[in-house]
Amino acid sequence: MGTPLTAMSQCTFEIQSQSVEQTITFGEQLAKHLRAGDWVTLDGELGAGKTHLIRGIAQGMGADGHAVASPTFVLMHEYEPEDLDQPLLIHIDAYRLERSDDLINLGWSDVANEAVMMIEWASKVSEALPVDRLQITLRHVDDHTRAIELTGYGKWEDRMENLPKFSQ
Ligand SMILES: Nc1ncnc2c1ncn2[C@@H]1O[C@H](COP(=O)(O)OP(=O)(O)OP(=O)(O)O)[C@@H](O)[C@H]1O
Ligand SMILES: [Mg+2]
């Protein structure tokens, strides 16, 4: 089993991942709870594990996880699941965006309702984010360990209790 949940409030919890594999597995488990129209934000310093977590989520949604890399230079990637009943995955890296408006100008708005939106470095564009969102913050604990904190806002508050609380 992984590390037990630390409950901080009803709509926030934290798990610890002890390896890259645990982070990816947690992403795969989390993906089962995501649906079209959802927004997930990821923050945490360089190398905290944001992209690896998204890789796991992509795999869990039936897209090719190996295709997931930090889109730092292209800013936005779109991953199509093999199963067309699954939502698209839109992965944006806001690291190089200067203003919240820049997020809107990336041109995802036509497909947002059919997609799960995942935003790395979301704090850089916080004013452009919807209220209803799952916020994920990753922290280095040591070389192989990362703390992953999840907070639900708006409609996500009620969905938090169903999310996986372990990474194994
Ligand atoms: N438990 C862990 N979970 C995730 N990554 C880990 C873990 N332990 C070590 N790592 C290492 O930390 C790094 C995480 O890289 P990743 O690209 O996912 O981070 P990032 O937060 O997306 O960084 P950036 O802001 O540069 O895009 C990788 O080198 C990975 O091997
Ligand atoms: Mg990254």
Tens digits of residue pLDDT in 87-104: 999 999 999 898 999 988
pTM of the predicted structure, to 2 decimals: 0.92
For residue 47, report the distance from its CA to the centre of ligand 1, in Å.
4
Residue minimizing CA distance to atom 23 of ligand 1: 47
Residue minimizing CA distance to atom 29 of ligand 1: 47
Ligand with an atom nearest the CA of residue 25: 1
For residue 18, report the distance from its CA to the centre of ligand 2, in Å.
18
Q: What is the CATH number of the domain that holds 124?
A: 3.40.50.300
Q: Decide if 163 is inside a domain.
A: no
pLDDT of residue 1: 41
- Give the number of domains in the chain: 1
Q: Decide if 41 is inside a domain.
A: yes
Of the candidates 125, 98, 102, 101, which has an alpha carbon nearest to the alpha carbon of residue 39?
A: 125
Three-state secondary structure readout of the chain: CCCCCEEEECCEEEEEECCHHHHHHHHHHHHCCCCCCCEEEEECCCCCCHHHHHHHHHHHCCCCHHHCCCCCCCCEEEECCCCCCCCEEEEEEHHHCCCHHHHHCCCCCCCHHHEEEEEECHHHHHHHCCCCEEEEEEEEEECCEEEEEEEEEHHHHHHHHHCCCCCC
Kindly give the number of the ligand 1 atom that is closest to the alpha carbon of 23: 3
Q: Decide if 42 is inside a domain.
A: yes
Residue 116: give the domain boundaries: 6-155
Q: Decide if 167 is inside a domain.
A: no
Q: Decide if 165 is inside a domain.
A: no
Q: Decide if 63 is inside a domain.
A: yes
Confidence band (pLDDT; 50, 70, 90) for 57?
A: very high
